[in-house]
Amino acid sequence: METVKVETKDRSYDVVVGPGALNGLEGLVADADRVAVIADKKVAGLHGGRLRAVLDEAGVDAAWMDVPSGESCKTLEWFGRTQQFLLDAGCTRKSVMIAFGGGACGDLAGYAAAAYMRGIRFVQCPTTILAHDSSVGGKTAINLPGGKNMTGAFHQPIGVLYDTDLLRTLPDVEVRSGMAEAVKHVLISSKKDALGLLHTMELAEMGEEELIRLIVRGIRVKADIVGRDEREGSVRKYLNFGHTYGHAVEAAAGYGGITHGEAVMTGMIYALILSERITGAGRELTDALQAFAEKNGYPLKEISSHPFDGLLGYMKKDKKASFGDLHFVLLPEAGAPEVRRVSEGDCKAADREYRIRTGVEPE
């Protein structure tokens, strides 16, 4: 079992990672007058019995609400339903809510906890690899038709219990999605390890020990950044590497049409091409990431259905944009991220180059 401490101005909490981590739930809900669970419907079917057993053993009679799997739960309609659920369940400011599912469920449930009675405590119990990123750091949000994660709040959990026993039922597409964020954490934090990881890691051959090691490494990178910049005023923006273009692809495909991690992988390759163009970075890291993505089945040609002008419209709605300017996290080299203002012309040129390199369009 590994424990990573997250320390912010408002709250300090532990992220516990390993088999059986859910057993730590009793201590987090011991003083709650009511406990409510918001769970991904599919996860509840697979692992709900495990969570119920832990709660029963702790003598907790929890209210329970299932929500649709994936991004389809991150809507204004489902957000409203969570608020009514918490009210009907008799939750107060002394209550604790549990988010049980992947990143989308955690985003919705965290925002529900942030908004209900202007903020109640909640625990993140992530069940996907992708959620090792989203469950840590207190960002919560839902989508709007015109953009991803456009309405939300910063609301830190009181604890994160990452029970790796629950990852064994993940399909390959979810492993791919989650590992994109794990790769991102290495790229933005380590010049020494980035190329070696990309050249050697094969998702199909990865064992549980290596998986846990990469998850914990990613959590440590994020915990360090969040501790220095909780509200994304400076270095926390680096965690958005690959997300500006990636979110645009995800939105254009229709939420759920491509997984978040697959979209971020596309966005990271695009951002590295931009880095070549804007900062003079070499191609070695870009080529290594593209080769890694192709070897491990990432759908890099998904953008073939989405012209640049449509993607640009989504990028202009990105939360890093200001006064009509586009801002991207770039990598002059691995481990040295920086935020740069980028022109529409450079964005279009990088999009064209991405399409050529991935075989979407001819030279």
Query: What CATH number has the domain bearing residue 244?
Result: 1.20.1090.10
Any domain includes 347: yes
Yes or no: say if 264 and 298 are a contact pair by the CB < 8 Å rule: no
The pTM of this model reads: 0.92
First to last CA, the chain: 50
Q: What is the mean pLDDT of residues 351-356?
A: 98
Domain with residue 143: its CATH number is: 3.40.50.1970
162 in the same domain as 298: no
Decide if 149 is catalytic: no
Any domain includes 89: yes
Decide if 276 is catalytic: no
Q: Which residues contact 296 (CB under 8 A, 6 or more apart)?
A: 176, 179, 202, 203, 204
Tell me: pLDDT of 321 over 80. Answer: no
Dihedral over Cα of 250, 252, 254, 257: its sign: negative
Boundary-marking domain end, from 146, 168, 190: 168
Per-residue pLDDT band for 258 (boundaries 50, 70, 90) equals very high
Given the residues 9, 77, 118, 209, the one annotated as active site? 118
Q: What is the pLDDT of residue 141?
A: 97
**Mean pLDDT score of the chain:** 95
Per-residue pLDDT band for 10 (boundaries 50, 70, 90) equals confident
Encoded tokens for 159: 């604890």
Decide if 236 is catalytic: yes
Q: Which residues contact 341 (CB under 8 A, 6 or more apart)?
A: 325, 326, 327
Q: What is the mean pLDDT of residues 340-356?
A: 97
Any domain includes 45: yes
Question: Has 286 been labeled as part of a binding site?
Answer: no
239 in the same domain as 135: no
Question: Has 185 been labeled as part of a binding site?
Answer: no
Given the residues 240, 250, 262, 353, the one annotated as active site? 240
185 in the same domain as 163: no
Decide if 23 is catalytic: no
Tell me: pLDDT of 323 over 70. Answer: no
Question: Has 42 been labeled as part of a binding site?
Answer: no
Distance CA 183, CA 185 (A): 5
Yes or no: say if 56 and 41 are a contact pair by the CB < 8 Å rule: no
Helix (H) / strand (E) containing 66: strand 63-67
Encoded tokens for 105: 């469920």
Yes or no: say if 65 and 37 are a contact pair by the CB < 8 Å rule: yes
Q: Where are the alpha helices (DSSP H) in 144-297?
A: 172-189, 194-200, 208-228, 243-252, 260-279, 284-295
Question: Has 152 been labeled as part of a binding site?
Answer: no
From the number of C-beta atoms within 10 Å of its C-beta (0-12, 13-18, 19+), residue 222 rates as: buried
Q: Is 113 left (phi over 0), alpha (psi -120 to 50) or beta?
A: alpha
Q: What is the pLDDT of residue 146?
A: 82
Per-residue pLDDT band for 24 (boundaries 50, 70, 90) equals very high
Tell me: pLDDT of 320 over 80. Answer: no
How many other CB atoms are there within 10 angstroms of residue 291's CB atom?
A: 12
From the number of C-beta atoms within 10 Å of its C-beta (0-12, 13-18, 19+), residue 14 rates as: middle
Q: What is the pLDDT of residue 318?
A: 78
Encoded tokens for 322: 């200001």
**How many domains does one find in the chain?**
2
Boundary-marking domain end, from 140, 168, 196: 168
Distance CA 132, CA 250 (A): 20
Q: What is the pLDDT of residue 255?
A: 77
197 in the same domain as 79: no
Any domain includes 260: yes
322 in the same domain as 200: yes
Decide if 181 is catalytic: yes
Question: Has 103 been labeled as part of a binding site?
Answer: yes
Which structural domain range is residue 139 located in? 2-168
pLDDT digits (tens, 9 = 90+) for 155-212: 999 999 999 999 999 999 999 999 999 999 999 999 999 999 999 999 999 998 999 9
Any domain includes 362: no
Q: What is the pLDDT of residue 191?
A: 95
Q: What is the pLDDT of residue 257?
A: 86
Q: What is the mean pLDDT of residues 41-67?
A: 98
Decide if 260 is catalytic: yes
Any domain includes 299: yes
Question: Strands 147-154 and 139-144: what pairing?
Answer: antiparallel
Give the C-alpha distances (Å, rounded to integers) separating 75 from 107, 138, 149: 11, 19, 10
Q: Where are the alpha helices (DSSP H) in the chain?
A: 25-29, 41-57, 76-88, 103-115, 131-134, 172-189, 194-200, 208-228, 243-252, 260-279, 284-295, 308-315, 344-357
Tell me: pLDDT of 247 over 80. Answer: yes
189 in the same domain as 322: yes
163 in the same domain as 229: no
199 in the same domain as 75: no
Given the residues 121, 155, 217, 247, the one annotated as active site? 247
312 in the same domain as 208: yes
Distance CA 179, CA 214 (A): 9
Instruction: Report residue 52 CA to chain centroid gap.
Output: 26
352 in the same domain as 225: yes
Any domain includes 192: yes
Boundary-marking domain end, from 138, 168, 198: 168
Encoded tokens for 228: 């220095």
Decide if 327 is catalytic: no
Q: What is the pLDDT of residue 244?
A: 95
Encoded tokens for 21: 């981590």
Question: Strands 12-18 and 2-7: what pairing?
Answer: antiparallel
Question: Has 95 been labeled as part of a binding site?
Answer: no
pLDDT digits (tens, 9 = 90+) for 88-130: 999 999 999 999 999 999 999 999 999 999 999 999 999 999 9
Given the residues 42, 132, 143, 181, the one annotated as active site? 181
Q: What is the pLDDT of residue 325?
A: 84
Question: Has 279 been labeled as part of a binding site?
Answer: no
pLDDT digits (tens, 9 = 90+) for 68-85: 999 999 999 999 999 999
311 in the same domain as 176: yes
Decide if 139 is catalytic: yes
Tell me: pLDDT of 62 over 80. Answer: yes
Any domain includes 363: no
186 in the same domain as 65: no
Decide if 353 is catalytic: no
Decide if 121 is catalytic: no
Percent of the chain topping pLDDT 90: 93
Name the nearest CA neighbour of 153 among 188, 128, 120, 177: 120
